[in-house]
Structure 1
């Protein structure tokens, strides 16, 4: 069914890197969600009124909130697909994250309202009526929601959509909520026990938890999160695969929405190669990175000594000291200025992000102590920093 809908309503569906194709995916998914949730809302409200069940009606209003969420997602995807303009030179892609965040708040608000209503039902229970058709409708609802969860998760992964992934998670929460409401009816029908209010509380907690989870997932890219380790390896490996590039470091990726990223990286080149030749290689990498990854990559060129045996000797000494002190600490931009009685070693130290100031200071002092013990002429000029990606 998913592939049928994609082929029927998404033109050029294979080109998922294209912003317009992503928008078509989002609009199609939102329309499907709106239609399914409105149908489920009407069916559950009818069932809830028939059997006088707060948990069933609560689940129905949860579906109504899902329909509203789909409408917000529809608007968010549509606005996120707008091209860059003078006031927004990086496009409008982050509006999709904002739409998902609004969805999260709606889900939490609905869950809290259901919690209050269900609490009242515990203290003031009302008679219920058991009907077999009610259980059948709820079972059908579970099947539809399971399909919607799989539908949105599949499309969300395909186009890297935060809204679709949030909707998939919300649908799984709905499955739990509807199952609980169905269990409440079955318990009343078989044993005559009215646990409607208690089940309503459980449903509301599931709904609120789904909202909190969606909020956490959508806040991460808005605040700024580290690059995916797989993509980090792909980009650095791609850059370092070119002839004339010795190594790379300091890869930073800025996310301006799904499939809208900019990145910068430092590429190390031999310092005895003509600058124009190295610059030509850098330009080619930037152009081909845009084609391969869809990322606008800016490369800073770092000249590195490759033929001076003295510089390489001291560079190896620093590398060995780091391995002895802490293998997770790395260095780059190594330079050496040698005088008659003093050798300046200049380099950047990269610490893991979780290291606190005290630990960094201790490591820095320990590295300086060991290097000066190996050669008393050494004077270290160290710039300490944290990595923005993953450790190599």
Structure 2
């Protein structure tokens, strides 16, 4: 499954959905529909940034980035979160202005049909992108999927608001806009919180550390381990570990043990690189 194709499909789909919602909103003076359309535009911008992020993060190591470009992936995912925050602010601000002026709009079947179409199509896009993101372990695709999901939830709020408006509650359209803003902000904070950990080199969960320890100990010739450290570089996990071998091992035998430990550690799903230091058993300062 190609991440570029998934993102491209998201961009094209969001262009169509955004155009339909905004045009309908303008024709019938619906803030809820216009806001929902703006949310879809933010999807387009976010997905485009995501596309660029995938392209950059997949580049191999070079002179300026000797450990690769994987940190660009959560960086661009974080930017998507910032875009969502700005979108939420603008929608909420406009909704409050509408409430203060007590504007009334007429809701018709065309408006309701557009919202229902948006809900169905965006949920399908959410499921497609989320499956691809999990399969590829790609944080940008996963962030983009939840971006689509926030659009589904906002459209549901818009549908409820329009139905209330149709039944005579004059603030239904504007309150739907506030609900959209709150949902977008929630999704934004979740995306930003997750990816800031990747950007700042957070250590993995304790169960992952324990798994690394067990894998290293399982290699024949390893008599002990110490000074185990691991942190994320982007979404990839890098491990730094000291192993202890018997002092009667030859240099080649010790080297081969270290190579086997590195190989086994890199077979762990999240681990992208392992740095193995070889020490004499019982003398942690006596590195070979």
- Specify if TM > 0.5: yes
Q: What displacement does 1:247 show?
A: 2.8
Using the TM superposition, give the Cα deviation of residue 266 of structure 1 relative to its aligned residue in structure 2, in angstroms. 1.5
1:339 aligns to what?
A: none
Contact 1:125 1:197 in 2 (8 A): no
Moved more, 70-79 or 160-169: 160-169
| Structure 1: 4+ residue segments shifted above 6 A | none
Show the counterpart of 1:165. Answer: 142
Q: Mark the structure with the bigger radius of gyration.
A: 1
In the alignment, is the contact (CA less than 8 A) between 1:253 and 1:262 conserved in 2? yes
TM-score (norm 1): 0.67
The runs of 5 or more residues in structure 1 that have no matched partner are: 1-5, 11-24, 306-331, 335-392
* Contact 1:263-1:297 within 8 A present in 2 as well: yes
Query: Does 1:242 pair with 2:247?
Result: no
Q: Which residue of 2 aligns with 1:62?
A: 39
Which of the residues 269, 274, 284 maps onto 2:260? Answer: 284
**Which structure is higher in helix share?**
2
**2:164 aligns to what?**
187
Partners of 1:28 and 1:199 lie apart in 2 by: 33
SS at match of 1:249: strand
Cα RMSD between the aligned structures? 2.4
For the residues of structure 1 that align with 2:266 and 2:197, how far apart are their CA atoms?
25
Listed as ranges, the gaps of 5+ residues in structure 2 are none
Matched with 1:156 is 133
Residue 171 of structure 1 and its aligned partner are, at CA, apart by 2.1
Q: CA separation in 1, counterparts of 2:198 and 2:102?
A: 44
Between Structure 1 and Structure 2, how many residues are aligned? 285
CA deviations on 1:187-246 (whole Å, 9 max, x unpaired) are 122345442222211211211222122111111110121124454343322221121112
Given that 1:84 and 1:92 are in contact with CA atoms closer than 8 Å, whether structure 2 keeps it comes out as: yes
- Deviations, residues 337-392 of structure 1 (Å, cap 9, x unaligned): xxxxxxxxxxxxxxxxxxxxxxxxxxxxxxxxxxxxxxxxxxxxxxxxxxxxxxxx
Distance in 2 separating the partners of 1:59 and 1:292: 42
User: Quick check: 174-183 or 244-253, which moved more?
Assistant: 244-253
Corresponding residue for residue 74 of structure 2: 97
* 1:112 has 2:75 as partner: no
Pick from 250, 255, 266: which aligns with 2:242?
Answer: 266
Q: CA–CA distance in 2 between the matches of 1:220 and 1:157?
A: 19
Q: 1:230, 1:148 → 2: CA distance? A: 33
Indicate if the aligned counterparts of 2:203 and 2:231 stay in contact, CA closer than 8 A.
no
Q: 1:32–1:81: structure 2 CA closer, same or farther, 3 Å change rule? A: same
